[in-house]
Structure 1
């Protein structure tokens, strides 16, 4: 072999596996019910791509940032799996003893106790030189299981069920989990937001302190809410007319200066701030770290 060809072969051999932009599920109100879907738990953590090639393992965030140092125990465990190269798609979580993810512990464990993190793999995109993305999802799951079994410890396998989406969602709600992700069993893996994967999230009702009301023409009024002394987000005020008028009267009577909570600077002159004492009952998506798609269902006052 000529020296030039040898150098070319060495260069080709040393090219590392590249980060692949993840497939993003579309959010839906209810899960699909036909039998051509498989369903998984939606884990509350950080989307992560775990890659192993000739130079070792790396862990990438959903945006392609190298977070290998933060996830060093998982990176070390990945290098012990029985393959020369692979790309896994999954979620980095901070599991409780019963396996439930605790998002509030993620930052602390990433900083101080990374060995208490776990990686839950739910897809495989590449294995030993073969690009698997064109294979049906159900086939990729079988290949993934063969790689990570027995799926215990720091690198885990995301179990699934086929069909019965409504029953699966009911079970997820009863277990107080964040929600579920459904995938067409015959779908290939394509980067970007596609309806081959859909996510269905659970709802919760909770009590929040009302900080103020923001009104914009043509939009429902927005209630600025706080929880445990911290700004939590906004909830659309969709109360029945009588209850809504009662709220407007209370807001008028309880006007105050901007509160000390860390409210975004965008909220200023267009907000009617209120004194502490009004509590709103809010319906919101479970597992979010700020109120999303939230609505104010009612309100109460101290002493009532």
Structure 2
């Protein structure tokens, strides 16, 4: 019996910093950014467990992956990766995650992209490229419920273009010779693709010396703010329309707008104005968003 031995502990994951352009030097390797839940798989003498990025034990929710982890050819390990809900073509569908965790956990998949510990060896000081080699040797052929995050070395701009063309969320780039360090680090960066959507303008925030922002909704639900960076002519027509509507009957604050956003600087806009808004793909709220054009009814 080895029940008196201490179990392996969760390690705070390394987090990539957001950048707007991918690194282009050959010192980087690049992977797809999978849209799912960050998960750490741990195997020790008492079996396998699955932890969220914050260290919560979700082994029961991810039980098929946990069972598969216990069959990998090692006595112990700590693997970093992403739990996804893959479609038939392998693309992750984040909107299916909760449903599958509840009803069809066997339809989830774990994409392994790093290994921190294996069979008594602490691997975090090793270069990224060496850790990935050890990881591949452990999970290959990676055709089942535990998969492997393939990478390319160099060519960041071309990789980003391919990811964007496939309509994926983005990419993660890692310095090939960097160790694994918990927390946010410049050794890992993420570059997200952009989307352009037609959204409803529900308010405008104008403040002296600062960029003018629009508040936007989709299907009546607030989704965030975007800088109004259109031409002066379009802006002038928009202000005139808002002023006419306000003089006739001021618009009221829509429901569901956070109080931190709905301060006294906001001019609420009546329904009927839409805009094309460019924003980062895969975010719950608008991020790094800018207005490209406004349908102001003129």
Q: Is the TM value for this pair above 0.5?
A: yes
| Offset of residue 263 of structure 1 | 1.6
Shifted more, 204-213 versus 223-232: the winner is 223-232
State how far apart, in whole Å, the 1-side matches of 2:239 and 2:296 are: 13
Q: Does 1:284 align with 2:284?
A: no
Distance 1:301 1:117 in 2: 45
Q: Would you say 1:29 and 2:20 are equivalent positions?
A: yes
**CA displacement 1:12-69 (0-9 Å, x = unmatched):** xx21111111111112221111212111001111111111111111111111111212
Residue 3 of structure 1 is matched in structure 2 by none
Alignment partner, residue 40 of structure 1: 31
> Which 4+ runs in 1 deviate beyond 4 A?
none
Aligned partner (choices 255, 258, 264) of residue 264 of structure 1: 258
Query: Which of 234, 242, 245 is matched with 1:243 structurally?
Result: 234
**Aligned residue in 1 for 2:290:** 295
Q: Using the alignment, how far apart are the partners of 2:13 and 2:208 within structure 1? A: 38
1:181 partnered with 2:176: no
What TM-score does the superposition give when structure 2 sets the normalisation length?
0.93
- Tell me whether 23-32 or 131-140 shows the greater mean CA deviation: 23-32
Task: Report the Cα distance in structure 2 between the residues aligned to 1:108 and 1:81, rounded to whole angstroms.
Answer: 27
Measured in 1, the distance between the counterparts of 2:57 and 2:172 equals: 25
Paired residue total: 293
Matched, 1:153 2:144: yes
Pick closer, same or farther for the CA change 1:53–1:172 going to 2, 3 Å: same
1:268 Cα deviation after fit: 4.5
Q: Superposition RMSD on alpha carbons, in Å? A: 1.7
Q: Which residue of 1 aligns with 2:268?
A: 273
Whole-angstrom CA distance in 1 between matches of 2:285 and 2:130: 36
Cα distance 1:216–1:152, how it changes in 2: closer, same or farther (>3 A)? farther
In structure 2, how many angstroms separate the alpha carbons of the residues matched to 1:214 and 1:70?
A: 43
Distance in 2, Cα, partners of 1:228 & 1:99: 29
Measured in 2, the distance between the counterparts of 1:79 and 1:228 equals: 45
Mapped pair 1:102 → 2:97: no
> Of the candidates 200, 203, 210, which is equivalent to residue 201 of structure 2?
210
CA apart distance, 1:164: 1.1
The match for 1:73 among 64, 67, 70 is 64
Please list the CA deviations of residues 248-267 of structure 1 after superposition, one character each: whole Å capped at 9, or x if unmatched.
2222233411123x221321
Structure 1: stretches of 5+ with no match in the other structure: 1-5
Gaps of 5+ in 2: none
2:3–2:46 CA contact under 8 A, matched in 1? no
1:205-232 per-residue CA deviation (whole Å, 9 max, x = no partner) reads 1110111112344321221111123211
Partner of residue 228 from structure 1, selected from 219, 238, 248: 219
The alignment status of 1:87 with 2:78, answered yes or no, reads: yes
Deviation string, structure 1 residues 132-159 (Cα, Å, up to 9, x no partner)? 0011111110110111111122111000
User: Could you tell me which residue of structure 2 aligns to residue 113 of structure 1?
Assistant: 104
Deviation at residue 86 of structure 1 after TM alignment = 0.5
Q: How far apart, in 2, do the equivalents of 1:145 and 1:152 lie?
A: 12
- 1:136 equivalent to 2:127? Answer yes
